Amino acid sequence: MGIIRSSWQAFGRWRKRRPFWGATFLLLSSLVILWIPMQLYEISLVPGSMVFAGFFLGGMVMLMGILSYAMPRLSTLLGIIGMFSAILSIMGALGGFLVGTILGIIGGALCIAWRPQWAEADAPAAHHEAAADKEPSAAID
């Protein structure tokens, strides 16, 4: 029981340091967006087919979700790119019947809105959000 509890607590600490729900919604969105091009893979090599764009944009949304887990400091940029890719996927994959687009917009918005939790008890004062937001002239007083 102790191993399960410590593993769950370690996962909770890992999750709090990342835009977990935003990245999870981006990954779900990419799976829904990629479902349509996967069903139409026979015609994906036909000239003039937009199925390739669906693969590309679905893959971009998936990449942004994975990178949001790996690089949480870039979550704002990754959320913007993921949201735009999900919106543009309407052209190539019908946006996963718009469900994938909506999930991508929600995931991108959550990644953009996420802010790291710097204010821990053992963290230096320079890393606190309140200290980082102050102007240098106000901190020297």
Q: Say what the pLDDT of residue 121 is.
A: 52
- 10-residue mean pLDDT profile of the chain (141 residues): values are 88 92 97 88 72 89 96 95 94 86 96 79 50 48 47
From CA 26, how far away is CA 111, in angstroms rounded? 9
Query: Is there a contact between 53 and 85 (Cβ–Cβ < 8 Å)?
Result: no
Those residues with Cβ within 8 angstroms of residue 56's Cβ, 6 or more apart along the chain or in another chain: 92
Q: Say what the pLDDT of residue 120 is.
A: 55
Q: Say what the pLDDT of residue 124 is.
A: 53
Q: Say what the pLDDT of residue 32 is.
A: 94
Distance of CA 91 to the CA centre of its chain: 21
Query: Is there a contact between 69 and 21 (Cβ–Cβ < 8 Å)?
Result: no
Residue type, 57: L
